[in-house]
Amino acid sequence: MKLSLWTSILVELSPAEACARLAEQGWEGLELSTEHIVAVDSAPDPLAAADEVRAVIGASCVEMPQVHLLISANIAMADDAKRLEFMETLKRQIALSARMGIRIGVIHPGGVRPKAFAEELAERRRRVEGFRELADYAAERGFSLAIENMTDGARDCRSAMGQRRYGATIEELHTLIDGIGRSNVGICLDVGHAHVQGYEMAEAVRQCGERLIATHIQDNDGTRDGHLAPTRGTINWRVGIAALREIGYHGLFNLEIPGERGLPAHLTLKRLEGVLATTRWLLDPEQGDA
Amino acid sequence: MYIGATTHIIIEIPATEVLPYMTEAGFRGGELALVHLRQFAEAAYPERTAEQFRVRCEELALQIPQVHLSVAAMGTLDADQREADFARMRREIELSALAGAKTGVLHPMGGWPATLAEQREIERLRVEDFARACEIAAEHEFTIAIENTYDAHADEHSAMGRRRFGSLIPELHSVVDAVGAENFGICLDTGHTNLIGLPLGEAFRQCGDRLIATHVHDNNGHQDQHTEPTRGTIDWPDAIAALREIGWDGIFNLEIAPLRGQPLELQTLRMRQVAKTAKWLLTL
């Protein structure tokens, strides 16, 4: 497993600059954040912006195999025009990511809160069709999709499915992936989401099994999606990391920790030195077994 | 549709003694409460006690179409617990039938599996156990109603996270489909739907013609308070419209918390007010 960080920790910097600074700090891997892929896509010359990022990564020791595709994209949306717009954006982002050497795109399952059960069933059909189309597009570029687990809503959410949100259980992700039926679709496990949802990290990892191809590593107190650095919440990391080894996961151990943001870049980098050291310790097999 | 109340609306006195107060308040029926059913089972002459209850209902023209059976470990991995629960359930169904009830309400249960494999086994056993409950019920021309529950709070953990099987109506349908018994349907608990965030009208519509029992109560959407309708956040006009839409002509049974320890006079006064409110709701 490679110790990795998502680039939005330095969201105020350009994609290339953020990658360069994090590579200098000693991170082994990076996930290009949604904000940064959006920045590349909306640059005056997106191809040149993508090439600049690729050059930075190529000149450093860091790997960047993973991108977080547009967070707000909803490929299960009922509005045909908006859904098509999302699909076009996602395809552009996949093409640009592939150009940067990225091989995996993290994506949310999408969906809204249906008023009637019939709407929910229609949404599930659109979700499968949308992912199938996107997976085929990605496959042509040697790219895979990693569908991320979500959390159910708060007590005041209302829908035909109550507070439940599709994709909050690993079982639902497997059902979705079975339905899509494409070999380049796997799971991105957000361990913080799983924790809020009431999963032990180790059990969530085991349920993902060999379909686990990406991770979002973050901690919280089990009640709110805090996105804090590991050990700042209540996740059992020792057992969770052991489970990752048990299932033979070799991808990024990728921190997605906006809960640690909010400082100027130079102070954020200071804070990250500690996060890097702590997480490296957690991933050290000898320390973990101690 | 007619209004009723679970007999524990006055919990300190025997069920047969609660009945005149229910009639006086304006209820036309009710559900035999678990606490009262247990009193039948523990009485010196259980069968006679149950029959006396039925006779009294007939005298007062009260219908008691449903009973709340004990919470049984449906789908438990503990075989001894299962057999003990089924022995008790059989006895409860016998006495309920003698008391005049036709439908027994059961919770889906299942516990908190640690692994997905356990969850799968619980799902299998749940279907097996409900099928067995339906077989026992059929011997007494009795039906079983599976009741919706609600997801746990954030601090509970399992292989399904904090989700609890049976919170959503499609999950109940899946059990009814799998069991395939004619004497099996759904009891919709209105307060539980509010806790899960499922609008009540939509919940009734999702039940459709499988609705065979009701637990009607209200809450603030955060705690299972079992307050009377209109004291919480449920959209009652839409719910009543949905009940009419699906053609429900059974009991609108209030399962509200009793005023424990309060003078009987106050409890009956409250019953009358609650009945008036419920009657008014049914005119919407």
Domains and CATH numbers, chain A: 2-288 (3.20.20.150)
pLDDT value, residue B164: 92
Pairing mode, if any, of strands A252-255 and A212-216? unpaired
**Choice among A80-84, B162-166, B181-185, B207-211 with the minimum mean pLDDT:** B162-166
* Distance of alpha carbon A73 from alpha carbon A50, whole angstroms: 21
Domain with B72 in it: 2-282
Handedness of CA A44, A48, A49, A50 (dihedral sign): positive
Strand partners, A187: A147, A212
Task: Write out chain B residues lying below 8 Å of A246, CB-based.
Answer: none
In this prediction, residue A42 carries a pLDDT of: 98
Q: Consecutive 10-residue runs of chain A (290 residues): their mean pLDDT?
A: 96 96 97 98 98 98 97 96 98 98 98 91 97 98 98 90 95 98 98 96 97 98 94 96 97 96 91 96 75
- Tell me whether B172 touches chain A (CB under 8 Å): no
DSSP state of A166: T
User: Strand, coil or helix: what is B6?
Assistant: strand
Q: Residue B170: its chain A contacts at CB < 8 A?
A: 117
* B161 to A162: CB separation less than 8 angstroms, yes or no: no
CATH code for the domain of B169: 3.20.20.150
| Shortest Cα distance, chain A CAs vs residue B129, angstroms | 24
pLDDT level of residue B131 (50, 70, 90 thresholds): very high
Cβ atoms B89, B52 nearer than 8 A: no
Give the end-to-end CA distance of chain A in Å, rounded to a whole number: 19
Structural domains of chain B, count: 1
Nearest to A222 among B114, B154, B169 (CB): B154
CA angle A179, A181, A187 (to 5 degrees): 80
| Chain A residue numbers touching B152 (CB-CB < 8 A) | 198
What tens digit of pLDDT does each residue of B51-70 get?
A: 999 999 999 999 999 999 99
pLDDT, position A290: 41
B151/A164 CB distance under 8 A: yes
* Contact between residue A145 and residue A131 where contact means Cβ atoms under 8 Å apart: yes
| CB pairs A-B closer than 8 Å | 86
Helices A80-99, A34-41: inter-axial angle, 10-degree rounding: 90
Q: Which of A112, A149, A203 to mutate to test the interface with B (most CBs of B within 10 A)?
A: A203
The Cβ of residue B233 has, within 10 Å, a number of other Cβ atoms equal to: 12
Give the pair of three-digit tokens for residue B260: 């424990």
Judged by CB atoms closer than 8 Å, whether chains meet at A171 and B197 is answered as no
Using one digit for the tens of pLDDT, what is the confidence trace for B13-48?
999 999 999 999 999 999 999 999 999 999 999 999
Contact residues for A5 (Cβ-Cβ < 8 A; gap 6+): A22, A27, A29, A30, A31, A254, A255, A257, A272
